[in-house]
Structure 1
Amino acid sequence: MSDYRLTPPRNERRDAAENRQRIIDAALHLFDLHGVEQVSMNQIATEAQIGPGTLYRRYRNKSELCQDLIKDSVDMLFDDIYEAMEAHKEEPAGGRLRRLLGFFLRFREKKAQLLKGIENASPPTGKRAYSPIYQELHQQLVLLFEEIHGTKPGGVNSVFKADMLLHALGSEAYLFQRQGRGLSPETILEQLCLTFIPDEAAKL
């Protein structure tokens, strides 16, 4: 399994570290008041009492800022996923996939706004390919689907299937099911498993 980390650790000058903390504090305050989508980078710079250039040198867009804000939580998420996959490595692949989805849906519920900010500020075409979170999830999903379906030519395309599942896990589709359809996270998890995991894949 890969060693997931959003950004490598870096030694910062004191003034750079102070600016980063001011940016983070300002962003969290504004996001809490107005929501991630409604807050601009210029508003964050003003709230942090720094110039826009200082902000953009640190973060090219709001997606990168949201990734930094969520970094520690994402590290813990993948640590939990990897530990569960290792602890249950004798379990059928379908059962391990269900566990992975459960971890991510619980995370999504807690970090919905920041995840939406990461997605919405990314390029419109193939946007999830630009997010390290979705890159790592995609890699794990492909491995599990290949274990379930095999890799023979003309069979199930595990990359395609992982793409479709990630689409369902993305903010637009997921929040529609939560808010538009009124489904609970538990019901969404059950329906995802019924849709993407063959019955035989959950059996020894």
Structure 2
Amino acid sequence: MQKTNRNGRTERRDAAENRQRILDAANQLFAQYGVEPVSMNQIAAEAGIGAGTLYRRYRNKGELCMDLIKDSKLLLFNTIEEYMKTNAAQAPALRLRGLLAIFISFKENHAQLLAGIEGATSLSEARSMSSSPFYMELHELLVRLFDEMAADNEQSQPDSVFRTDMLMAALSSKSYLFQRNVRGRSPDLILDQLCRIYI
């Protein structure tokens, strides 16, 4: 028997069951130990499958984390889209602050999985990560808001793409978790400081 997966493709029943076992095992181990310390072999053992079966579905832990966060990512962009529609009449700087608040809340709820996704990306994969739909959609929204801000401001503004690149670097899991865990800054304070710098 076949079942349709989240990508709209059909998968065999045993493959679908293996996938669910993998996701359940990863969720349980990540909740218990955190994402970074857990190995793919541990996940395979917990799921009761061979490592080869796991690696055929997920090349690395980052891909597994991406699958775990998929539904939340869709909800994030639906929330952002609704926010942007509802606040279309607001100044671009206010909309940018609101968008950042939504993203930081998402970051707080999924910090370990996002770090797992980013941690699995090598320097040689950085270009492909920046062309992922998740990155591109957020990048496009921010560039658009920075362009609107520049149009509203008669003074010379930094290039919107560069400005967005730097803001997204500041929002990377590594930078964000450093501010949270080492500097001890709250999400509200991080949001405030980012707005002071970029808005």
Paired residue type of 1:40? S
The structure whose RCO (Cα within 8 Å, separation 6+) is larger is: 1
Judged with a 3 Å threshold, the aligned counterparts in structure 2 of structure 1 residues 90 and 134 are, in CA distance, closer, same or farther, namely same
Q: Which residue of 2 aligns with 1:160?
A: 162
- CA displacement, residues 34-66 of structure 1 (integer Å, 9 cap, x when unaligned): 111111112111111112221112111111100
Q: Which residue, 180, 185, 188 being the options, matches 2:182?
A: 180
Deviates most, 127-136 or 68-77: 127-136
Paired residue type of 2:20? Q
Matching of residue 59 in structure 1 with residue 58 in structure 2: yes
Q: Distance in 2 between matches of 1:175 and 1:155?
A: 29
- Deviation for aligned residue 1:130: 5.5
SS in 2 for 1:12: strand
Please list every run of 5 or more consecutive structure 1 residues that lacks an aligned counterpart in the other structure: 1-6, 198-204
Matching of residue 102 in structure 1 with residue 104 in structure 2: no
Q: Is the 8 A contact 1:81 1:100 kept in 2?
A: yes
Q: Is the 8 A contact 1:119 1:131 kept in 2?
A: no
Q: Which residue of 2 aligns with 1:22?
A: 21
With normalisation by structure 1, the TM-score equals 0.86
Count of paired positions: 188
Q: Which residue of 1 aligns with 2:3?
A: none
Q: Is the 8 A contact 1:118 1:131 kept in 2?
A: no
Paired residue type of 1:175? L
* Structure 1 segments (4+ residues) deviating >4 Å: none
Q: Distance in 2 between matches of 1:181 and 1:131?
A: 30
- Deviation for aligned residue 1:181: 1.5
Q: Distance in 2 between matches of 1:195 and 1:144?
A: 15
- CA displacement, residues 64-94 of structure 1 (integer Å, 9 cap, x when unaligned): 1001101111110110000110111111111
Measured on the aligned residues, the alpha-carbon RMSD in Å equals: 1.7
- Deviation for aligned residue 1:113: 0.5
- Deviation for aligned residue 1:23: 0.3
Q: Which residue of 2 aligns with 1:200?
A: none
Matching of residue 134 in structure 1 with residue 135 in structure 2: yes
Q: Distance in 1 between matches of 2:60 and 2:141?
A: 27
Q: Is the 8 A contact 1:122 1:130 kept in 2?
A: no
With normalisation by structure 2, the TM-score equals 0.88
